[in-house]
Amino acid sequence: MRSVLGYARTYFIGGVYDRSVPDDFALDIERFHDMLSDLSSRLATDSRLDGTTEEKLLQGPFSDAMTHAGQLAMLRRLYGDPVPPENFIVAKISSENLTGDQPAPESPDKIWPEAPKK
């Protein structure tokens, strides 16, 4: 997903995104959150878009990133480690917190039948 968001970022800064091969998983997660934060700040400050619109970013690379999030959730379920159910209406979502340090899921379900055995 970092590559997809890096591609979206090129519409703000120009150039071409270098699709480096991740070599350190923890470092790649940090780089993803840095990319997300940078992209968020550019959107929040109405930075000039070079050759596209916000709508095209949404229907292109942002939709692609959301599709990948769904694919990762599906793969985790197949692996036996599903993403916990969460009610996003009451979730503690903040556009200021784009780090890997996220609050625990908010779930209205008292019973989670698909929970992995511990």
* Identity of the amino acid at 17: Y
pTM: 0.77
Which whole number is the average pLDDT over 24-53?
89
Burial profile 19-55: b = 16 or more Cβ within 10 angstroms, e = fewer:
eeeeeeeeeeeeebbebbebbeebbeeeeeeeeeeee
Question: Per residue in 72-104, pLDDT tens?
Answer: 999 999 998 888 888 888 889 998 999 989 998
Confidence check: pLDDT of 34 > 90: yes
User: In the chain, what are the domain boundaries?
Assistant: 2-79
Place of tokens 């934060």: 37
- Residue-level length of the chain: 118
- What's the rounded Cα separation, in Å, for the pair 22 and 6? 14
